[in-house]
Amino acid sequence: MADANPEPIATFCGDCNCGCPQLFLDPEAPEDRRVRITDDFGQQVQMSEEQFADLVAQAKAGALDRLTAASA
């Protein structure tokens, strides 16, 4: 896995020092693993930019709204 210098894109939470989940773009990684999402437990998910674009499109279309309704 290429860990050279992934570019941080976003931090989710950021209100503490607990190791909040983050989104990275690693242009040096293989094409199918350039987008990386880490959690606060040290785990990560890697995907292609196309897969991430699909995730964002589905989120914008409301596919994930029910996950946030409970916290609203």
C-alpha 52/C-alpha 61 separation (Å) is: 14
User: Sign of torsion, CA 16 47 34 43?
Assistant: positive
pLDDT per residue as tens digits for the range 55-65: 999 999 999 99
**What burial letters (b/e) apply to 24-57, b meaning 16+ CB within 10 Å?**
bebeebeeebbbbbbeeeeeeebbeeeebeeeee
List, for residues 20-62, the tens digit of each pLDDT value: 899 999 999 999 999 999 998 889 999 999 999 999 999 999 9
User: Which pTM value belongs to this model?
Assistant: 0.79
